[in-house]
Amino acid sequence: MVQMRKHLTTKNILRTLAILGGAAAGYAYYYFVGCYNGSCAIQSNPWFSTFYGAFIVAVLVIPVKKKSSPQT
């Protein structure tokens, strides 16, 4: 139980909310701008645009761990 609480930090909650916001923005892009003739792969399908919005935000908010150099 204690380990599970460790993962519920403010940073993780904010990252999750940001990703959900990106998904909402992707769906809004589909709804307001979308391509209706089906020739646009991302814009013509609400699932693709929602996933794409969430993915772009996830790439921006999830940190990448750098390789640590050995201490000499």
* Single pTM value for the model: 0.74
Query: Domain residue spans in the chain?
Result: 16-61
* pLDDT tens-digit series, residues 5-57: 666 788 888 999 999 999 999 999 888 887 777 677 777 788 999 999 999 99
Output the CA–CA distances (angstroms, integers) from residue 38 to 5, 41, 44, 61, in the order listed.
Answer: 45, 7, 5, 31
Q: What is the pLDDT of residue 10?
A: 85
- pLDDT given at position 39: 78
Question: What residues contact residue 34 under an 8 Å CB cut-off, 6+ apart?
Answer: 40, 43, 44, 46, 49
Which pLDDT belongs to residue 68?
72
pLDDT over 60 at 60, yes or no: yes
